[in-house]
Amino acid sequence: MNPVISIRNLEKSYDQPVLKGVNLDVNAGEIVGYIGPNGAGKSTTIKILLGMIPDFSGEVTVLGRDIRTDALEIKRHVGYVPENAALYEVLTPAEFLLFMGRLYGMDDAVIRRKAEDLLQLVGLADQIDSRMTTFSKGMRQKVLLIAGMIHNPEIIFLDEPLSGLDANAVILVKEILARLREAGKTIFYSSHLMDVVEKISDRIVIINQGTVIADGTIEDLRHQVQSGSLERIFQGLTGDDSTSLRASEFFQALQ
């Protein structure tokens, strides 16, 4: 089976090198949790996979196509749920989803039907025609989730999709991701919520200082580090075991 995402020797620098030779294959139907410390390069990787950052070195293919030359075609088949996106707040969910759906070449009537059904399912049916300026962070995130999936893509990239969601919404999104996986979709997402990543990922990839330092099921990772929770594994692998000390120093510095 050919991987649906293939990354070879991916390097990307801004002022400093961010990605220093990332290698990764993702197969169809996998849910991959992509985790790493703040600033590790998770969003940068996802944006490269989406064709949003063209200047990188290495080879990246999505659905067998080269992201450098076929980004437009790839975009038809992938969805993206960004973190803190610039959402056109002056629009209503109905208008925003119409705009997004049209970008994907969808029929207006289909967009409207899907928008109504999906907003209903996330508890926003009554706000379909309200301006999003008044929306809370979680309400906006729900609209972004719908916008990223409205065209029923084969691969869905989500950057911190659970940020700002309440406990019920997190459960809902987890279940939606499980259904999407059952339907054969591939899901590649970043998150800092270790308990969620541990529960819903088939595979966990940890990136630190520009390279992949662990890649496997939660059991594989446990075996590698001989540690229980993903939180502990993460701490062990990314070498940050001084948090208690720093928390106490932080507290002291406040006094």
Ligand X SMILES: Nc1ncnc2c1ncn2[C@@H]1O[C@H](COP(=O)(O)OP(=O)(O)OP(=O)(O)O)[C@@H](O)[C@H]1O
For ligand X, the binding residues (CB under 6 A) are 14, 18, 36, 38-44
Q: What are the backbone angles phi and psi of residue 183, rounded to the nearest 5°? A: -85, 5
DSSP state of 57: E
Nearer to ligand X, 41 or 93 (CB): 41
Nearer to ligand X, 92 or 191 (CB): 191
Query: Least CB distance from residue 135 to ligand X, whole Å?
Result: 22
User: b or e along 180-208 (b: 16 or more beta carbons within 10 Å of the residue's beta carbon)?
Assistant: bbeeebbbbbbbebbebbbebbebbbbbb
Query: Least CB distance from residue 243 to ligand X, whole Å?
Result: 16
- Positive/negative CA dihedral, 133, 135, 140, 141: positive
Nearer to ligand X, 124 or 206 (CB): 206
CA distance 22 to 19: 6
Nearer to ligand X, 18 or 150 (CB): 18
Alpha carbon separation from 17 to 37, 40, 74, 145 (Å, rounded): 15, 10, 27, 31
Query: Least CB distance from residue 190 to ligand X, whole Å?
Result: 6
Query: Least CB distance from residue 50 to ligand X, whole Å?
Result: 13
